[in-house]
Structure 1
Amino acid sequence: MSNQESQMKVKIQKFGNFLSSMVMPNIGAFIAWGLITALFIESGWKPNEELATLVDPMVKYLLPLLIGYTGGKLVYDMRGGVVGAIATMGVIVGADIPMFLGAMIMGPLGGWVIKKFDQLIEGKVRTGFEMLVNNFSSGILGGILAIFSFLLIGPGVTQITGILVTGVEWMLDVGILPLTSILIEPAKILFLNNAINHGVLSPLGIEQVKQTGESILFLLEANPGPGIGVLLAYCFFGRGAAKRTAPGAAIIQFFGGIHEIYFPYVLMKPMLFIAVILGGISGVFTLSLLGGGLIAPASPGSILAMLAVTPAGNFIANIAGVLVAASVSFIVSFFVLKMDKSEEGSLEEASQKMQAMKGKKSSVVSDLANNEITTETSIASVNFNNVNHIIFACDAGMGSSAMGASLLRKKVKEAGLNIKVTNMAISNLPSDAQLVITQEELTPRAKQKVPNATHVSVENFLSSPKYDEIIDRLVNNNTTNNTELSDHDESASTANQEVLRKENIFLNKKFSSKEEAIRFAGKVLVDGGYVKESYIEAMLDREKITSTYMGNDVAIPHGTDEAKQEVIKSGVTIIQVPDGVDFEGGKVRLIFGLAGKDNGHLEILSAIAQTCSDMNNVEKMANAKTTDEILEIIGSSFNK
């Protein structure tokens, strides 16, 4: 792909994501309108003339205003949202049809105009007149935009919408609407699923509902049939991790409506694009033939959400559309999986590929509006002034977070910074947390717990390039002084021999799965008197939350936060697996099973982290012939 094509793809991604971002936060309002419509209109389940009067005002005023406000807020926060809503009102009154497309134009435009105005007058308003200028500027500019949208945008969008709806009706009449799946199915997997559904099809579908009472457009992208067909084929005919995880993914996709969960399964075997395309075509053809359709968007794309907004009399058609799509997708997927003799791809790699294509991959990055570091901006854009405490957080607060904290703590000390670096469970994060570092999968939970902190997502706790970037920024910006650097009792070093016994180091082990490896590590801890038997299941539960693969061929399985009460005393076991064992896409040759009580394991864990951050040390330990060699390599880190 050329650089120009790549740039064009990025622009399309951003545009599509922006469209869907205006609609997605307001899906609850769409569902409320859809349910009221389904229940109380004349042809509904419980016709009620009085309650049915809610339908038109909601679709004409409420939904477009919410979209316009959200679009303006995306551009310029609350102030942009207010002006965006005012501008949207003009386009609503200036048209006879629901103005979803008009709201998607005027909302962001209103936010952009007031943002540019504020930038223009910045520093020029006299003290005491700020509120007056702010209120009058938003009112005047919003009013001008409302008049503009009333006179021009409303009539223009009405014409465009009419042409598009006529085009859809023509496609239905000549029977070629099913061919849209050739574009829709690959596009939604690659980068535009929400944009296609909520940015394009939903507004057109709602206009069609106004004319015919239902719309097939709501099912072009949201039909769960093609996805469930692929996942069911993996359940029966897949291999390895894909087969083991497919049943759970199928439940989430079909009943939970999270279509993205099946995208990596298709990306692992690109020939499966044929399966979802043919499934989509057959499903749309069936819906067209039987007259299927919904009265509101089915969001999320769950079978339950779909049935909830199915009009009376359309259940057979809609269910048939799903079943036919699923059957065709399943049959084609069966042949693809059976005929493909290539080595099973990595589900983890496919997931990362999907996230990268969708612009979600977290690397070194900063979304300042959400205080979350992700891949498109540099850490250099984040304000690190006056940071005096960095927290590594994971589920239990004693495994991966402790390793990461020990590595960064060493770098902080070497840089001469007086900054406290600690580790803890996400559930224990304090409300005044400043800088929180988590594994990529756990960042949303940490962000929900402490939304005002700056959050950094780390994929590889042992060798993340972000550590050095953070240190560089802290050296340049830090102004704190005299803060304790360590989060554990240094007296713990006297118990090292008890925490890591020589007999708890195992060489040349082989495991068929990570579950088997984790159970072995847990059994060692139980036999050593470190934990209770129930701790083993807690280790497996922790692995389901997010993989304990740390990078550099190392994994550190441990229990959940709730299982801390099952720990009798701190202990560590080291298991060498020369041939490696798969931890969801990561080949692990060194397993450090651990249990922590009163931070007694942290010094050992710190030594392990420092040792394993260097791949040369990992290679030496993975190829060690005696337990003494491993102890010597780890022991050298205590004096660093």
Structure 2
Amino acid sequence: MSTTHATTTRSGLRVHVQRFGTFLSNMVLPNIGAFIAWGLITALFIQAGWITLIGDKWFGYPPGLEEGQYDYGFVSALGGWDADGGGIVGPMITYLLPILIGYTGGRMMYNDSIRGGVVGAIATMGAVAGAEVPMFLGAMVMGPLGGWSMKKIDALWDGKIRPGFEMLVNNFAAGIWGMILAIGGFLVAGPFVEAFSNVAEDVVDFLVDNSLMPLTSIFVEPAKVLFLNNAINHGVFTPLGTTEAAEEGKSLLFLVEANPGPGLGLLLAFMIFGKGVAKASAPGAALIHFVGGIHEIYFPYVLMKPKLILAMIAGGMTGVATNLIFDSGLRAPAAPGSIIAVWLQSPAGSIVGVTLSVVLAAAVSFLVAAFLLKTDRAADEGDLAGATASMESMKGKRSIASTALAGSTRGGPIRSIVFACDAGMGSSAMGASVLRKKVHGAGFTDVTVVNKAISNLRDDVDLVVTHQDLTDRARRSTPSAVHVSVENFMNSPRYDEIVALVRERSEPGADAAPAPAPAPASDDSPAGQPILAASSVVLDATGTRDDAITTAGELLVAAGAVDASYVASMHAREKSVSTYMGNRLALPHGTNEAKPSIRRTALSFVRYPAGVDWNGKDVTFVVGVAAAGDDHLRVLARIAEVFADEQQVARLEAATSAEEVLGVLGAAAQPA
């Protein structure tokens, strides 16, 4: 028991660190274009930049002037090294980049609200003005704090503001609270983060001065494979590296994690000494990794044979040591970690050192991995598919890169997609409706997107989408399909990846087959009886998640749509897999075994103005589902459209009668 507890604790800690790393990366990565722009401007226009380097080499110094006495006109003005100072480089790293991160963090913490982003940016500005170092760490604290606290403050008077005063109250609340946070950032956050940055810089300087920096690879390389790299890279290396680059013109910290050399060496070793699927897939993986910059493509190869982490550590240490010897580094983060991005961010004086760090890291990684693979006595090739599944489990999601490694064994275009859930009526129907609109909207009208119960799956489908807790069950029924796990049914980012995969798999020049005609909706309800009636709409409910499920179920019982036993099955379904859809919507329904309890198709609609805690998610709308046939799909498709539209959701929030709710949902709520 103690061993199991310890293992669970370590796993839980790893998951928390992964989530924290993902949180940090979600603030940095959307703004990586700004980092690249700053890096390119720096590379071109500072005094030691490419333009002055080439100008000096081709034209020499003007007569009578020495280095540092001449002026390159607009080049020196943009770089901020002319007599007037200023320029673009300094203000961008001091103000633009931290405020963008703070805005993004605030928006993330306030349900992707611009309001949260604005308050986060105001709070970040206080920290920026209160310190003399680039305030990236401060932005990662003050931005999310601003968005989160503004959300909590708004909740205090939500629904209590008299009509006509909403804008006045909201604007002044944001302004006043933003002012308070900016002052706090100036007096507290700025100086604190500056002191922390100085200590961290001293640690890095100690490692560099004592030639110990290569030892960081002992921790970084295993962390990458365990998906802890975001916490290290975006939480430590990027802020410190950016500060160092602003002072020194470059930083090797940008290449501690992002160097593509070790991964390239590993994949080259598999190309020559690997076996089976691993060897066959290595060339494509190497191209994706080295040129595309998607490092996660090689993680399954290490997970498949964990001893290969020694090759990654050796290669990483070699790359860092090479940059130390040549005093080379990058001006800005290389994201993605492609050799193209690495070269673009290399200063003129670091091109040789950076290139050698990649080449030598790849060579050492290759030699160590080749030795380990050559001396491996295992007769099998290793379970690459299993390792990929393990990688996805640790990461918590699947990507196109992992699909390229261990996706469908059935090649060719994707023509059929099934969204599957336990019962095949509520969650899957909603998700299928949203995904179908995206796939067909992208022009792939020949791709069928339907919903089914997992028990009805057959291994004749190209791609299966399920809640992340059901993917393993679905994979057993359809082992040949590509499997995609989602958590948010309404607006999962995985849907865009699916569209990209459909496009990637589509045959060039193939004529699109006409979309199959939808099956006629059967109406199992008595003639003239609506699927969603006004009597099944409640607008002012309160209670817990379990209370909400009971209320939605009892409304279905009262409507004569289900037996009383169906309510218990709704609770059982929730214990198995959450019915949270996203966008503050939950869709509780019974299990597949409870279908005999359904007399006719019906829905119930319950609104919780104060919200309901739904397994850590904030839910306002609860729609109970009882589906005897396919006629509920029309209503669920309409609900999906409504909850994808903020204006329609606002109408549902403001509705004062059941008739207004039915008006928003439209004629789809009426009998077929």
Equivalent residue number for residue 119 of structure 1: 155
Offset, 1:316: 1.2
Which whole-Å CA distance do the structure 1 matches of 2:430 and 2:212 have between them? 68
Partner of 1:58 in structure 2? 92
1:344 paired residue among 381, 387, 399: 381
Q: CA distance change for structure 1 residues 211 and 564 in 2, over 3 Å: closer, same or farther?
A: closer
- Relative to structure 1, is the Cα distance of residues 429 and 169 closer, same or farther in structure 2, using a 3 angstrom cutoff? same
Q: What's the CA shift for 1:289? A: 1.3
- Alignment of 1:25 onto 2:33: no
Distance 1:191 1:560 in 2: 34
| 1:214 correspondence with 2:260 | no
The 1:87/1:273 distance shift into structure 2, 3 A limit, reads: same
2:106 aligned partner, one-letter code: G
Partner residue in 2 for 1:128: 164
Please tell me whether the aligned partners of residues 396 and 426 of structure 1 are also in contact (alpha carbons under 8 angstroms).
Answer: no
Tell me the residue number matched to 2:363: 327
Q: Give 1:360's aligned residue.
A: 397
- Any stretches of 5+ residues in structure 1 without a counterpart? 363-393, 440-453, 465-473, 475-541, 547-558, 566-595, 603-640
State the alpha-carbon separation in 2 of the partners of residues 352 and 412 from structure 1.
27
Instruction: Give the drift of 1:119.
Output: 1.5
Equivalent residues of 1:33, 1:55 under 8 A apart: yes
Gaps of 5+ in 2: 1-5, 53-74, 80-86, 400-410, 453-464, 479-488, 490-500, 520-672
Distance 1:438 1:50 in 2: 61
Q: 2:346 aligned with 1:310, yes or no? A: yes
CA shift, 1:397, in A, is 6.6
Say if 1:419 and 1:85 are closer, same or farther in 2 by CA, change over 3 A. closer
Structure 1 residue 14 and structure 2 residue 23: aligned?
A: no
Structure 2 counterparts to residues 405-444 of structure 1, below 5 A: 427-429=439-441
Letter in 2 for 1:39: L
Instruction: Report the Cα offset of residue 8 of structure 1.
Output: 1.9
CA distance in 1, matches of 2:433, 2:325: 64
Give the Å deviation of 1:455.
Answer: 9.1
Which of 88, 96, 103 does residue 132 from structure 2 map onto?
96
Distance 1:332 1:136, change over 3 A: same
Find the counterpart in structure 1 of residue 214 from structure 2. 178
> Quick one: distance in 2 between partners of 1:50 and 1:158?
29
Distance 1:232 1:215 in 2: 28
- Whole-angstrom distance in 1 between the partners of 2:107 and 2:425: 38
Q: Using the alignment, how far apart are the partners of 1:23 and 1:135 within structure 2?
A: 27
- From 302, 305, 318, the counterpart of 1:282: 318
Aligned mates of 1:428, 1:419 — CA distance in 2: 14
- Superposed CA deviations along residues 291-350 of structure 1, whole A, max 9, x for unmatched, are 111111111111111111111111111111111111110001101111223222222221
Matches of 2:260 and 2:388 in 1, distance apart? 19
Match 2:41 to one of 21, 36, 45: 36
The count of corresponding residues between Structure 1 and Structure 2 is 434
Change (3 A) 1:90 1:597: closer
Q: Aligned-pair distance for 1:395?
A: 9.0
Q: Which of the residues 50, 60, 63 maps onto 1:45?
A: 50
Select 2:510's aligned residue among 541, 559, 563.
Answer: 563
Change (3 A) 1:409 1:24: closer
Shift of 1:598: 8.1
The 3 A distance-change label for structure 1 pair 324 and 437 is farther
Q: Please say if 1:3 is aligned against 2:15.
A: no
CA change 1:436–1:139 in 2 (3 A) is farther
Other-structure match for 1:247? 283
Letter paired with 1:49: S
Verify the 8 A CA contact 2:28 2:234 in the aligned structure 1.
Answer: yes
Task: Give TM-score scaled by structure 2 length.
Answer: 0.59
Indicate the residue corresponding to 1:368 in structure 2: none
Instruction: Decide whether the 8 Å contact of 1:230 with 1:333 is kept in 2.
Output: yes
Cα distance in 1, alignment partners of residues 424 and 299 from structure 2: 39
CA contact (8 A) 2:137 2:193 kept: yes
Contact 2:334-2:341 within 8 A present in 1 as well: yes
1:517 — aligned with what?
Answer: none
1: CA distance between counterparts of 2:398 and 2:377? 30
Task: Return the alpha-carbon distance in structure 2 between the equivalents of residues 562 and 456 of structure 1.
Answer: 34
Q: Is 1:73 matched up with 2:107?
A: yes
Letter in 2 for 1:90: G
Which residue in the other structure is 2:233 paired with? 197
Q: Secondary structure at the match of 2:50?
A: coil
Contact 1:396 1:562 in 2 (8 A): no
| 2:611 match | none
Label 1:563 to 1:418 Cα distance change in 2 as closer, same or farther (>3 A). Answer: closer
Deviation at 1:16, TM superposition (A): 1.1
- 8 Å CA contact 2:17–2:231 kept in 1: the answer is no
SS in structure 2 at match of 1:256? coil
Which whole-Å deviations, capped at 9, do the CAs of 1:475-517 have from their partners, x for residues lacking one?
xxxxxxxxxxxxxxxxxxxxxxxxxxxxxxxxxxxxxxxxxxx
1:293 and 1:128, CA in 2 relative to 1: closer, same or farther beyond 3 A? same
Q: Distance in 1 between matches of 2:421 and 2:26?
A: 36
8 A contact 1:436–1:456 mirrored in 2? no
Name the counterpart of 2:205.
Answer: 169
Deviation at 1:4, TM superposition (A): 2.7
Aligned to 2:637: none
Q: Could you say if the C-alpha distance between residues 409 and 279 of structure 1 is closer, same or farther in structure 2, counting changes exceeding 3 Å? A: closer
Secondary structure of 2:51's counterpart equals: coil
Contact 2:101 2:139 in 1 (8 A): yes
In the TM superposition, residue 230 of structure 1 has moved relative to its aligned partner by 0.4
The one-letter code sitting in structure 1 at the alignment partner of 2:298 is Y
Q: Which residue of 2 aligns with 1:297?
A: 333
Q: In structure 1, what is the equivalent of residue 175 of structure 2?
A: 139
Question: Which amino acid counterpart does residue 510 of structure 2 have in structure 1?
Answer: A
1:470-509 matched pairs, under 5 angstroms? none
- Give the deviation of 1:178 after TM superposition: 0.3
Residues 585-635 of structure 1: CA distance to partner in whole angstroms, max 9, x if unpaired? xxxxxxxxxxx88869x9xxxxxxxxxxxxxxxxxxxxxxxxxxxxxxxxx
Pair 323,418 (structure 1): closer, same or farther in 2 beyond 3 Å: closer
Which residue of the partner structure matches residue 159 of structure 1?
195
Identity of aligned residues (%): 50
Residue 172 of structure 1: how far off its partner (Å): 0.7
Q: Distance in 2 between matches of 1:179 and 1:46?
A: 36
Q: Which residue of 2 aligns with 1:188?
A: 224
Contact 2:424/2:451, CA 8 A, preserved across alignment: no
User: Matches of 1:50 and 1:194 in 2, distance apart?
Assistant: 36
1:176-223 CA distances to partner (integer Å, 9 max, x unpaired)? 110000000110111122332222101000111122221110110011
User: Which shifted more, 123-132 or 178-187?
Assistant: 123-132
How far has the Cα of 1:82 moved from its partner? 0.8
Q: Give the superposed CA RMSD.
A: 3.9
Give the counterpart letter for 1:54 in structure 2.
Answer: I
Q: Distance in 1 between matches of 2:434 and 2:187?
A: 59
Q: Distance in 2 between matches of 1:597 and 1:284?
A: 56
> Alpha-carbon deviation of 1:424?
6.9
Tell me the equivalent position of 1:272.
308
Q: Which amino acid aligns with 1:346?
A: D
